[in-house]
Amino acid sequence: MTCDDRDQIFAGGVVAWQDDRIVYVGPRAGYSPAEHDEVWDARDRYVLPGLVNLHTHTPMTALRGL
């Protein structure tokens, strides 16, 4: 499920990334890996991007114990 404005779902789809960027999400027919690409079979799995926690309490951490 792409979570785009149409909430598209690609059963048996492909997620491709290069370095730290997602470069393709869609049906398998729309993507052909290059010969040197590493391919992971994530069938029956969820593929999620890395999640970043932007909620912090930096002042509380810096001043802890004072």
Q: Residue 11's pLDDT is what?
A: 80
Domain housing 23: 1-31
Is residue 23 within 8 Å of 17, Cβ to Cβ? Answer: yes
For residue 21, tell me if it sits in a domain.
Answer: yes
Question: ∠ CA(41), CA(42), CA(47), 5° rounding?
Answer: 140
For the segment 38-65, what is each residue's pLDDT rounded down to a tens digit?
Answer: 888 888 888 777 777 777 777 777 777 7
For the whole prediction, is pTM greater than 0.85? no
**Structural domains of the chain, count:** 1
For residue 7, tell me if it sits in a domain.
Answer: yes
For the segment 10-27, what is each residue's pLDDT rounded down to a tens digit?
Answer: 888 888 888 888 888 888
For residue 20, tell me if it sits in a domain.
Answer: yes
Cα 44 to Cα 5: distance, rounded to the nearest angstrom: 25
Q: Residue 1's pLDDT is what?
A: 72
Is residue 29 within 8 Å of 14, Cβ to Cβ? Answer: no
Is residue 38 within 8 Å of 61, Cβ to Cβ? Answer: no
Q: Residue 25's pLDDT is what?
A: 86
Element (H, E) at 17: strand 14-18
For residue 52, tell me if it sits in a domain.
Answer: no
For residue 36, tell me if it sits in a domain.
Answer: no
